[in-house]
Amino acid sequence: MGSLFAELARQASANARREVEAYTREIPGFGLLDKDTRARAETLEHSLWLRRRTVELSPDNAALTDGDLGHIASMGELRAGAGMTLDVRQRVLRLHTALMLREINEATEAQRGGGVEEIMRMMTWFAPQGERGISAYCQGFVRAMRRRTRYIEQVALLVRSLLKGDPISVELASAVDMELPDHWAVTVFRIPDRPADERFLEYEIETLVKSHQVPVTWGTEAENGSSELIALIPLGSDVAGAGTMPPHAVLDLLPDLVPDHFFELVRDFARALGRPCAVGTATAPLPDLADALDRARRISRAAPLRRASARLRPHTLADVFVELAVVGVPFVDAWLRDVARRLDSGPDLLITLDAYYRHDMRRGAAATALNVHVRTLDYRLRRVRELTGIDPGSARGVRTLSAVVTRRLSGAWR
What does DSSP assign to residue 346?
S
Confidence of residue 110 (pLDDT cuts 50, 70, 90): confident
Which CATH number goes with the domain that contains 314? 3.30.70
Confidence of residue 261 (pLDDT cuts 50, 70, 90): confident
For residues 129 and 185, state if they share a domain. Answer: no
Tens digit of each residue's pLDDT (9 = 90 or more) over 54-99? 999 998 999 999 999 999 999 888 888 878 888 888 888 889 989 9
Residue 324 lies in a domain: no
For residues 187 and 312, state if they share a domain. Answer: yes
Q: In the beta sheet, which residues pair with residue 278?
A: 190
CB 23 within 8 A of CB 32: no
For residues 215 and 334, state if they share a domain. Answer: no
Q: Taking 70 as the threshold, does the pLDDT of residue 33 lie above it?
A: no
Answer whether 0.85 is exceeded by the pTM.
Answer: no
- Mean pLDDT, residues 11-27 taken together: 91
pLDDT for 243: 46
Distance of CA 246 to the CA centre of its chain: 19
For residues 9 and 41, state if they share a domain. Answer: yes
Residue 212 lies in a domain: yes
- Residues 395, 326, 390, CA angle at the centre, nearest 5°? 30
For residues 14 and 110, state if they share a domain. Answer: yes
Distances (CA, A) of 386 to 60, 350, 365: 86, 14, 23
For residues 17 and 124, state if they share a domain. Answer: yes
For residues 267 and 306, state if they share a domain. Answer: yes
Helix 374-388 and helix 349-358, axial crossing angle in degrees, nearest 10: 110
Q: Taking 80 as the threshold, does the pLDDT of residue 241 lie above it?
A: no
Residue 275 lies in a domain: yes
pLDDT for 253: 43
pLDDT for 244: 47
The 10 Å Cβ neighbour count of residue 182 is 13
For residues 7 and 119, state if they share a domain. Answer: yes
Domain end residue (candidates: 318, 348, 379) = 318
Tens digit of each residue's pLDDT (9 = 90 or more) over 298-327? 999 999 998 877 677 889 888 899 999 998
Residue 359 lies in a domain: yes
For residues 270 and 375, state if they share a domain. Answer: no
For residues 131 and 244, state if they share a domain. Answer: no
CB 390 within 8 A of CB 384: yes
Helix 317-327 and helix 395-409, axial crossing angle in degrees, nearest 10: 80
Number of domains in the chain: 3
Domain end residue (candidates: 100, 131, 148) = 148
Residue 387 lies in a domain: yes
Q: How far apart are CA 355 and CA 367, in angstroms?
A: 8
**What domain range is 43 assigned to?**
3-148
CB 257 within 8 A of CB 235: yes
For residues 104 and 8, state if they share a domain. Answer: yes
Domain end residue (candidates: 261, 290, 318) = 318
Lowest mean per-residue pLDDT among 102-116, 240-254, 364-378 = 240-254
For residues 35 and 9, state if they share a domain. Answer: yes
* Arithmetic mean of pLDDT over the chain: 86
Which CATH number goes with the domain that contains 403? 1.10.10.2840
